[in-house]
A and B are shown apart, each in its own frame.
Chain A
């Protein structure tokens, strides 16, 4: 889009700059500050250089949390993306039922995250929850507070329940934008259902899907509340993901230095993914020619 060059536009952006600067830059500087200092208490700090970073890079605890985080994010992406596409392909195209499905599918997305945790905490309990009770009746030895596998399964199913609709909604929006002519051409060519998907729907959805995948990756990468409510990071440390570990370190143990170094490295990863996301977005905008 041919935009006019106008440096005065800065004045329009200024309020955002000040506000977000206040809530992003100052806290981030605090973190940087802590990450290079050590203290003996009493607010006396001294320079520690990059020691905390070295410590964190050598700390098994962080690598374990990162490992768990990556496994978790990969699993939920592997489930949610195909499932979301599949659901989108099966949604009604228009009319009342399309709206009906849209509304019901969006509902889990709008539930406060701790309530999502609460819902599954109750749902999975062997004594009072439907899921736990049915599993127990079927003879499955299911207990998400004791058994590592069960805890993981619960957290993953919860996330699938919570967020698959997001992928589905985005994929659906992508499908809606495909002109009828494409399908008519495919019909004339007698293309199979799979070919229609592979050569028409998938390429047309690619941009939107990329957004969905990145959003899901980012959000799962900083998941905190839901697993915290359900398992509290347990049993042991089995479901302690990066954010849970970080909060434990910073607010629980008040290990400011390591926590700050941890935060910064965490943030760098996020920055990298944001950059990929941004590139995808701008390419998408260009392709649409707006």
Chain B
């Protein structure tokens, strides 16, 4: 099993390559770049470069940004971040976003849990149609809903409140949560349910005490994706708010359209919006594909 047989371009990337069964000592061989590593390095470089550039801008003063071109900040400054974290019109954007995103996640998960259980365990009249209908809402273009939402929430006096945005985002987050949770729940054997009922558990007690701990990772993943999709959405949250519940994303577009752009602050605001995703991504790394594919894969 010499290495020569596996070193054809890309061959080393075969998952579960036979050579993986070699003794452990062999895996600690000398560092030797191969085709796969170069491909990955280039791809990751392509992904990271624009993000690095944003970070780079956020650490420069506006004068330095506009006066010349440099690959890294010459006079490192945190003034841009300071401005955001001390000016209420900026940091309230983050607070507003976090409030409605959290509300949305809590609402979405709590209604999706029983529904996902029903879809994964029982067949009932219209279940398939209902499941499909939910999917169409995940796929619905927010642009179609922007105007009707605006009128609906204005007419019930919820315009510019956090709950309006949270409810509007349930349009795509509840279906997402149902699909993801259903994907996880179908992996739990039905025998567990039956045993619990024989042991005399009532449904609510079984669900909370036994079932939910079993799909804890699924709930975490679903919550993460609800959080993310609500966090990255701009069109609806901008349409439904003006002042009191204005999300950070909308605060940023305001700065873009204003004259005399403050690039440094804009970049710093951008970096701060990336942080929440970057902080928790490690914990869900193995489920990212499953989450994006609506619980399938």
Contacts and interface: CB of A to CB of B under 8 A. Distances in A.
Nearest to A88: B13
A176 B46 CA distance: 24
A16 B47 contact: no
Nearest to B108: A19
A118 B256 contact: yes
Given A90-B35, A90-B39, A218 B139 contact: yes
Interface string A240-276: 0011101100110000100100010011001101110
Contact of A270 (B57, B136, B170, B231): B136
Interface in A170-189: 170, 172-176, 178-180, 183-184, 187
Interface stretch (B48-56, B79-87, B212-220): B48-56
B-side binding surface: helix, strand, loop or mixed?
Answer: helix
B114 A13 contact: yes
A270 B263 contact: no
Interface size class of B (residues with CB under 8 A): 35 or more
A270 B295 CA distance: 20
- Which range holds the interface residue count of chain A? 35 or more
A13 B118 contact: yes
Contacts of A178: 15-16
Interface string B271-297: 001100110011001101110111011
A129 B39 CA distance: 25
Contacts of B136: 270-271, 274
A173 B294 CA distance: 13
Contacts of B148: 26-28, 30-31
Most central of B16, B53, B248, B289 by chain A CB within 10 Å: B289
Contacts of A47: none
Interface string A60-98: 000000000000000000000000001101111100000
A52 B252 CA distance: 36
Contact of B66 (A5, A7, A114, A127): A127
Nearest to B284: A106
B112 interface: yes
A263 B141 CA distance: 9
A86 B39 contact: yes
Contact of A106 (B49, B233, B285): B285
A85 B121 CA distance: 35
Interface of B: 8-11, 13-18, 20, 35-36, 39-40, 43-44, 46-51, 53-54, 57, 65-66, 69, 71, 107, 111-112, 114-115, 117-119, 121-125, 127, 130-132, 134-137, 139-152, 167-168, 170-171, 174-175, 178, 186-187, 228, 231-235, 239, 248-249, 252-253, 256, 263, 266-267, 270, 273-274, 277-278, 281-282, 285-286, 288-290, 292-294, 296-297
Interface of A: 1, 3-10, 12-13, 15-17, 19-20, 22-24, 26-28, 30-31, 86-87, 89-93, 99, 101-115, 118-123, 127-131, 133, 161, 165-166, 169-170, 172-176, 178-180, 183-184, 187, 193, 196, 208, 211-212, 215, 218, 221-222, 224-225, 229, 242-244, 246-247, 250-251, 256, 259, 263, 266-267, 270-271, 273-275, 277-278, 281, 284-285, 290
